Structure 1
Amino acid sequence: MDIKTLSGNVYSYLRRTNEIVSGVVVDNDYQWNFSPLHAFSAMLEVEMFIVGITEQCNLRCTYCCYSGAYENNRSHGKRILTSDDISDIYDFIRKMSNKKHIRVSFYGGEPLLHYQLVQYAITKGQELFGNCIGFSISTNGTLLTKDKIDWLISNNVEIAISIDGTRMFHNAHRVDAHGNGSYDNVYEALSYIKHFYPEYVASVVLQMTLTSYRDIIQIAEEWDNDDLLKYFTPSNIHGLSPNFANGVERIDYEEVKELYTQILDKYERNMDNVVLNVFFDECIAYWKDRPIVDAGSAVPMATCMPVNTKLYIDSKKEIGVCEKVADKYRIGNIKDGIDWSLANEIIEKYYQQRVKRCRYCPAIRMCDMCLTAIEYTDEQWNVLCHNERVYARVFMFLYCEMAERGLLK
C-alpha cells in the first residue's frame, strides 16, 4: 500500500513491520497466518455492562438502527425493564464479572423516559457494590431537565449526549415523530451544565454522528463561533453504520482524498478548532500511535470474544457482545447466562470469514471491521472490505501529509 503526498513524495506501508518507508515498496507476497482459534467458556475481562432500559424513544432519528430499516435489528418497541429485572441483572453481573471495579451504562431507546427506574438502578447498584461501581447514561438530551442533571451529577454519573453538530445539521436528522428538531432542548441542557457545573463540562461525553463528512467544515466553524459550544469538545465524530437495505456505495480513493484534503486545508488555517482537532485525531490515531513490531509468521485473530471488556443486556434481558452487534446475534440471557456453544459458533463464523478474506490485506492492522460484520453476505463483505482499504490508505495519506506540513502534535 503506497500513497503520494501533494508535494509529490511517495511513501509505502510495510504490513509485516507496520513501518512507513520512502518510495514504492511492494510487499504483496507477505501473508497473514492467523493463530488457531480455541474454544472458550469464560470472559475474564468484562468490566462494563450496558443495560437497555427500554425500547421506547421520544425521537425518530432518520438514521436510527432501531428505525425498522436495519434487517437484523428490532424496531422501536414498548418493552421496559422492571425493578425486579434490575435486581436480576445485578445478580448476573455479580456472577459474571471478576473485576474489582465495574461500570454500568444505561442505554435505550431513551433511558430518561423511565428516569425513576434509572434512579432506582443507580441507588441499588450503589447499595450492592459501594465504591466499586460507576455509572454512565447515553441520552438524546431532550429530557435532561435541571433536576435530572443535578441528581445525575451529584451521583457521579457520566452523561453521554448525542448532538450532531450545530442546529441546522442536528435538526435535519434528530427529530421527533412529528418531524420537529431536538436541538434546542439539548442546547438548553448543555447551557445549564456550563453555568452551574463548569467543572463538569470536560466530563460530558458528546457523541456526534454525521450523515456526510462534507458538512464538517461548516459545523466546525459554527461550533467555534458559538458562545456555548466552543467550551465543549466532542468525544467522537463518526459516520453512519452501513445499512445495505438502503444501499452502501463503494467509495473512491481519489474522491475521499480530495474531500479530506479540503478539510485539512481548513484545519491548517485554524489548528485550534475544537471539532477539526477531534476529527483529525481520530483519522490518524492508529498511524500516530502504531507499534513498529514484526508480526512474524502468525498472529492472533482480533475478535471481541473472549477478551471483550463489555457486555450488552437488552430490555428483553438477552445478552449481546455489545450494543452495536445486531439483535439477531444474542449469546444468552441473564437467567441462564452465556450460551458458550452459541458464542463460540459466532466467533467461528467470523474467524472463517477473516481467514478467507484477510490473508493478503494490507489494512488488517488498522481495520475497523469487527464482530458486527457477521450479519453480512459475501457481497456485502466485499463492499465493506473495499471501503476499509480505501479509508486506511486515505488516513495514511493524511498522516504523511500532516507530517510534511508540520501539523502533527
Structure 2
Amino acid sequence: MRFQSANNNVRQIKGVFAGCAVAFIGVGLMSALVNILYLTGSLFMMEVYDRVLPSRSLPTLLALFAIVVALYVFQGLFDAVRGRLLVRISDRLDQVLSSRVYDAVIGLQVRLPVSGAQAQPLRDLDTIRSFLSGSGPTALFDLPWLPFYIAICFAFHFWLGVTALAGAAILTMFTLMTELVSKRPVEETARHASARNRLIESTRRNADIIAVMGMTPPLRERWQVDNRAYGRGQRTASDIASGFGVASKVLRMLLQSGILAVGAWLVINEQATPGIIIAGSILSARALAPVDLAIANWKGFIAARQSRRRLEKTLALLPDAAMRMDLPAPRSLLSVERVGVIPPEAAEPVLQDVAFTLASGSALGVIGASGSGKSSLARLLVGLWRPLKGSVRLDGATLDQWPAEALARHIGYMPQAIELLDGTIAENIASFDPQASSEKIIAAARSANS
C-alpha cells in the first residue's frame, strides 16, 4: 500500500501537467499565431522599400500601415493570452499540490525535526510556479519556430538562409553548453543553500542554549563557511548564465549585421532587392531571439527541473492519507509488540524490544531518566514516528493504517513544549475544527481548568 501511495504521489505531479494538456495546447497555438504575426514588421519594411518608395503611393502606404496596426493588435492580444494561460497553469499546479506540500512540511517536521528541510517542499513549489509564470516557458515554446524563420530567409535568397542557419547553429551550441556548464554549479548552489538553511534554523530553535553555552562564535563561523560557499556557487552560476547570455546577444547582433552585409552584397550584384535586406535582418533577429531568451532563463529552468524532481521524491516518501480507509473507532486493546526506534538523524536506537498490552480502562505510567526514551515511546504510540521493528496496534490495526485525522479523534497527546497556533483561543481548543460548537469549546476549557 505504501509503494502504491508513493507512486500515486509522483503521478499526481505528472497528472497536473497532463491535466493542463489543453492549456499547453492553447499556449502552443497562441505561440504559433504570435510567431506568424512576428513576420508583420519585416514584410511591412520589405513592401515599403520595394513597393511604396518606388511608386511614391501614399494610399498604398496608408493601407499597408492600417493592416500592420491591426496585425500588431492581434499579436499583442495573442501574446497576452499566452502569458495568462501560463499563469493559470502555475495556479493549477498550486491548487492541486498545495495541500500535499503543506502535509509534506508537517511530515518532514515530524520525521526529521532537526533537519531544517521542513520548508523545502514549499520552496520547490514556489520555484516551479515562478518559472511557469515567467518568460522561460515562452522562450521554449518559441524555439521550435526557429526553422520556420530560417526557411523564410532561404526563400528570400539562399545565402541569406545560409547566414541565418550558421548563426542559429552557433547559438544552439551555446544553449547546449549552457545546460552542460551550468547544471553542476546550480546543483551545488542548491546544496549549500540547504545546508545554510538547516544550520540557521537549528540555531534559531536553540538560541537560548547556544547563547548560554557560548557556542555563538563557532556556529557563526560554520554558518559563514556555508554562506560563503552558497555565495560562490550562486556567483558562479550567475556568471555562467550571464556570460553565455552576453555572448549570445553579441552573436545575434553580429549575425544581424552579417545579414545586412550579405544582403547588400546581393543587391550590389543585382540578386536581391533592398527590401529583402531589411526583411532578412529583422527575420534573423526574430529567429534567434528565443535562443537568446532561453539562455538567459536556463538557470531558472534547471532550478525548476531540480525542484520538481526533489518534490516528487519528497511526496513519494510521505504516504497520502487519502489512500487509507477510515477504520472503526478503537474500543478494547492497545498492543505494543517488541518495538524499537531510532530517532530521526540519530545513529543508535533509544528503544529496543518494548512490549506491553493495555485493555480498555487500564492505565500505564512510564518513568525514567532524561533521554531514556519516554518521549520517543510517546511519539511511537501516537503514530508520529514509525518503529524500526515491531508494531503498535489499536484493536489489531497498525497505526499507519489510520488516516492521521481519524487517529487524532481517538488519541490525546501533550508534547513537552506547548505553543498556541496563529488563531483565537477557541480555535486552538477546537483544533481549528470549523464544525466545533461553542458549547463543546467552553466545556473543554472548563474541564482543563478544573
TM over 0.5: no
Q: TM-score, normalised by structure 2?
A: 0.18
Greater per-residue helix proportion: 2
Answer with 1 or 2: which has the greater Rg.
Answer: 2
Greater per-residue strand proportion: 1
Q: TM-score, normalised by structure 1?
A: 0.19
Greater relative contact order (Cα < 8 A, sep 6+): 1
